[in-house]
Amino acid sequence: MLILASSSPRRRELLTQAGLEFVVEAADVDETPQKGESPAQYVQRLAVEKAQAIWDRHKAADDSENPNDPITVIGADTTVVLDGEMLGKPVDQADARRMLELLSGRTHQVLTGVAAITRTAVASEVEITQVYFDLILERELVQYLASGEPLDKAGAYGIQGYAARWIPRIEGCYFNVVGLPLSRTLAVIARAQEGPGDARVAL
């Protein structure tokens, strides 16, 4: 049994695209950064904490009664980083404008922490993608903000939507920018299911 500890529709779509069967159960964890924590450490920690929160709800059911269907929980967290500042989901339109104005004409990084937990192992890694932005015209920015699309996305944009017009190229995994690096996620799941151990690698 595979459980996705996320309410993100984009992550659901990507896992479905990869041919996985899973159920969704969103995790509610404190996403406040810890003092001195790097962006990579932050997204990796939250991915593990989200997966752990859902695993704790279900671990009693993951016993010898279901030897052929062990539970694996996937957690993920994404942030956009520019000049060392993490840009999460904007709190309102003004915050979304601030983020997009910062990103305009600049190169930033998208980091996603991915974690998988089973009865015998915890595996987690971090994917990093470089994203290049063209200058954003004011009229396009106004139109984008009015659409409401930026409000539920880290960094206030989605590469698969209207904002694609500002992105001439990326270096790294496209799916990471959407919200879940598929290849790395499958590798993390495989490691956790192989168990035992605690394998946490931040790139």
- pLDDT tens digits, one per residue of 140-186: 999 999 999 999 899 999 999 999 999 999 999 999 999 999 999 99
**2-201 CATH pick, 3.40.190.10, 3.90.950.10, 3.20.20.70, 3.90.70.10:** 3.90.950.10
pTM to 2 decimals?
0.90
Residue tagged active-site, from 30, 56, 77, 152: 77
Active site residue 77: yes
69 CB-contact burial (10 Å; exposed 0-12 / middle 13-18 / buried 19+)? exposed
Q: Give the integer Cα–Cα distance in Å for 45 and 34.
A: 10
Q: Give the integer Cα–Cα distance in Å for 72 and 152.
A: 26
Domain spans, the chain: 2-201
